[in-house]
Amino acid sequence: MTTLSSTSLPESLINHNFQSDRLSCMRGDRMLFTGIGFQLKAGEWLHVRGENGVGKTSLLRLLAGLSKPLEGSIDWNGISIEADPTSYRRELFFLGHRDALKDDLTAFENVLIASALDGSAVSQDQALSALCRFGLRGRELLPVSCLSAGQKRRVILARLLLRKATLWILDEPFNALDSRAVELLSNLIAEHLASGGMAVLTSHQSIPLPNAKVLSL
């Protein structure tokens, strides 16, 4: 297995650290999990695995700061994500189950608006080239409502390409993708990790990426 040399990373990334300790989560009257802990450093990723309904999405929503744990801590660079949620969100890209696209806008408009809201200045050329990289040439000016499930997913992945986030939290990112798009996304995640990024993914499939840590719920 390849390991990242800390000397090959920019100074600003070497000390990045994402960590949780003793997390527990309750949904309805059911305790989904207790005592969950992990630590990720620059270039590492966490594969969250488990059967349907075990709590993977619930865990990712906690890690993204979208809901609160019953107990336990989640720290980004040694600081609780609750203490400075704005800085944390700037470093984060979260891909949930739902596509989070505006159906009446085009793929191109969706990418431009999402990037503006993220605070990343993206040019029209960059947006078009990201959509093309994900095979959407010729589809970029269609309303998203006219795209297939896999094409909608590809629009989100074009956003991922443009977003300069250090931590990617991706819930079932390979869902609805064909084999070409799976390869593109795998390459994109590999590039992200090689440049010192981190990722937390759920997937029922094995993912051939280096520097994996596995968390089985």
Ligand X SMILES: Nc1ncnc2c1ncn2[C@@H]1O[C@H](COP(=O)(O)OP(=O)(O)OP(=O)(O)O)[C@@H](O)[C@H]1O
Residue 12: count of CB within 10 angstroms of its CB: 10
| Residue 28 or 208 with smaller CB distance to ligand X | 28
- Separation between Cα atoms, residue 142 and residue 68, nearest integer Å: 38
Q: How far is the CB of 46 from ligand X (least distance, A)?
A: 15
Residue 165: count of CB within 10 angstroms of its CB: 18
| Residue 54 or 209 with smaller CB distance to ligand X | 54
Among 13, 54, 113, 176, binds ligand X (CB under 6 A): 54
57 binds ligand X (CB under 6 A): yes
Q: What are the distances in angstroms from CA 74 to CA 61, 144, 165, 182? A: 12, 35, 18, 30
| Residue 10 or 28 with smaller CB distance to ligand X | 28
- Separation between Cα atoms, residue 198 and residue 202, nearest integer Å: 14
Among 53, 71, 116, 124, binds ligand X (CB under 6 A): 53
| Residue 142 or 174 with smaller CB distance to ligand X | 174
Among 1, 10, 28, 78, binds ligand X (CB under 6 A): 28
Which spans of this chain sit near ligand X (rule: CB under 6 A)? 27-28, 32, 50, 52-58
